[in-house]
Amino acid sequence: MTNPFDQISAAFSPQYRVNLSIEALDGSIMLTLSDEAGIAAKRLISQAQRNDPARLQRVIDSIRLGLAIDRSQNPMQVLAALTRPSGGQARNVVAN
């Protein structure tokens, strides 16, 4: 079983500094992604999402899509990259 914290970190580093902090007693964590310009994204990840690899991957993909849209990248290219099989490896999506 993959450690969810490692999976999240691997998905966004080295492009972003990844900070994970406990948000609530229910097991939710706050993911903060930052770069040289400041905070790029901040998302609450529930315990249920964190503990289910498929749900966690969907959260990661959703964050990637949001980041791509924020950076004015082509959302269709990003979606295509996200839906390609990755062989269980972290997908690094950067559209030019």
In what side-by-side order are the strands of the sheet with 17-22?
17-22, 29-35, 38-45
Cis before residue 14, ω within 30 degrees of 0? Answer: yes
pLDDT at 68 (0 to 100): 85
For the chain, 96 residues long, the average pLDDT of each consecutive 10-residue run is 88 93 90 94 94 94 88 71 57 46
Q: What is d(CA 38, CA 46) in angstroms, rounded to the nearest whole number?
A: 24
Q: What is the pTM of this model?
A: 0.74
